[in-house]
Amino acid sequence: MVRMFKHIKSYGLVTVSIALVLALLMGSVVPAKAAAPERIVKIGLFAALTGAIASSGVPLSEGSIDAARYINDQGGINGIKIQVIWDDIGPAMVPRAIAAHKRFREAGVVVENTFLSVTAETLKPTLKKDGIPLLYTGSMTPLMVTRPLSWIFTGVFGAGPEITCVAQWFKDTWSEERPPRLGYIFFDEALGWAGIEGCERAYDIGIEFVGYEVVPFAGVIDTSVEWLRLSAKKPDLIYVTSAGATSSVLIKDAARLGLQEKGIKLCGYPSHIDESILAVVGADGEGWYLYTPTATRVELELPGVKLAMEKAKEYRGYGPEKTRIMYLAGVMSGLVMIEGIRLAIEKVGLDNLTSRAVRDSLASIKDFDTGGLVPPVTMDNDHPYVTRAIRIRQVQQGELVPVSDWYEPIYWYPMEEQ
C-alpha cells in the first residue's frame, strides 16, 4: 500500500486524479458482502467511579463489566453478545441515576445493575412503570420491595436480617455467662437505618442491644465522639455499616481509641472494610470482622475465584494484590444478570426478548452455580436475593480470611411493599 502511494505521487496531478477515479470505479463493481446484523443484548450499569464510595464502586463496576466480557469471549449466549452501557453516578447519585435510567431505557436495556441502595430506592416506582428489572448488589431494604412482582433483586437478603446472622455467630462464640452486648454505628443512609431492626431482633437470640450512633454519609473527618458515646455503654461487639472514606475515618478512629484492646470486637458491612479500605488504614484494620456472602481472593480452591482472578489479570492487569472482594462481587452480579438473560432467551427467543421476560427469568433462577463466588443461586418473587446465607471473615495480615460456617437469619423482611 505504501509503495503504491509513492508510485502515484510520481505522476502529475491529472494522472493522480485519473488513477483515483479508476480505483473508485473498480471498487464499485466488486460485490459487497452484506454484514450480518449484530446480535446483542444490553445491560445498564449505574457505576460509582467517582465520589465518596468510589473505592468500592470502581472494582464492583469493573467486575460486572468483565463478567460480560468473559461471556462474550466464550461466544456470548449462543452467539448473542452482552453489551454493558454505563454511567458514573457517583458525584450526584439521585439526579444522575434518574438521568442514567432514562438513557438506559431509550437504549433498550433489558436489566440494570447498581451498587448503591439510594439508586434502587429512588428508581423503584420508575422501574415498575417502565418494566425494567434491577439487580442491586448490596442488601435488601424494605423500601426496595415491589409487589406483586419483584422488580428489584438484591445481592443479600437485608441489612437487618444480616445483622442477626452476625449476632448469632457472636453468640455461638461467646463463653461468658452473661448475655453479650451489641452496639451499632452507621452512616446516614437508608441501608444503615434499615439495620436497626436487626439489632433489636438480636434480643430473640439472647443478645442485649445497647444503642446506636449515626455519622454523616460523606465528608467525615472525625468520629471520636460517636465511638466514645457508644463504647461507654460497654458493648462487647460493635457492628458498623458504612463505605468509602467514611469507613477509613471510622476504622482509624477506633484504632486510635484502642477499642479492640479494650476487648470490643468490631464487625462491618461488606463494603465497610475491604482491600481498598485496608490499603488506606493499614494495620489499623487488623482484627476487624466483616460478613459477606462473596468469596475472597484467598479462597483459590473455588473455581469461580480462580477464574475471576485470571480475568482480572487478563483484562485489567491486576495481580492478586489488586483483585478485591468487591471485584469478585461485581463478577458475581454480572454472571447472575447474564444467567437471567440466558434463561429468557431460551424461553422466548432473541426476537421476542423483553425486559419483562428477563425479570421473569431472574425470578426463576434455580441452583445457578457461580463457581463458589456465592452459594448456588435460587431466586423467586418472595426471595428476590442472590444469596440466603452469609459467612464471617476476619482481617488477618491484611487478608479477609473465612472464620465461620454459613449463617441464615432468624427472620426475613416481610415482602410487603412500603
pLDDT surpasses 60 at 379: yes
Q: Please report whether residue 211 resides in a domain.
A: yes
pLDDT in tens, 132-189: 999 999 999 899 999 999 999 999 999 999 999 999 999 999 999 999 999 999 999 8
Over range 271-282, report the average pLDDT: 90
The answer on 130 and 206 residing in a single domain is no
What pLDDT is recorded for position 32? 44
pLDDT surpasses 70 at 400: yes
The answer on 286 and 313 residing in a single domain is no
pLDDT in tens, 6-30: 332 333 333 333 333 333 333 334 4
The CA-based angle 139-142-147, given to 5 degrees, is 110
Over range 217-224, report the average pLDDT: 92
The answer on 192 and 238 residing in a single domain is yes
Confidence of residue 36 (pLDDT cuts 50, 70, 90): low
Rounded distance between C-alpha atoms, residue 64 and residue 335, angstroms = 8
User: What CATH number corresponds to the domain at position 174?
Assistant: 3.40.50.2300
What pLDDT is recorded for position 241? 95
Q: Could you give the number of structural domains in the chain?
A: 2
Task: Count how many residues are written for the chain.
Answer: 418
pLDDT surpasses 50 at 58: yes
Q: What is the mean pLDDT of the chain?
A: 90
CA 302, chain centre distance (Å): 19
Residue 99, CA atoms < 13 Å, CB-side half-sphere: 9
Query: By residue range, what is the domain housing residue 105?
Result: 40-158+299-388
The answer on 209 and 289 residing in a single domain is yes
Q: Left, alpha or beta for 186 (phi > 0: left; psi -120 to 50: alpha)? A: beta
What pLDDT is recorded for position 35? 53
The answer on 77 and 105 residing in a single domain is yes
Strands across the sheet containing 208-215: 208-215, 181-187, 237-241, 265-268, 289-292, 390-396, 399-407
Over range 354-361, report the average pLDDT: 98
Lowest-pLDDT choice from 40-54, 62-76, 311-325, 397-411:
40-54
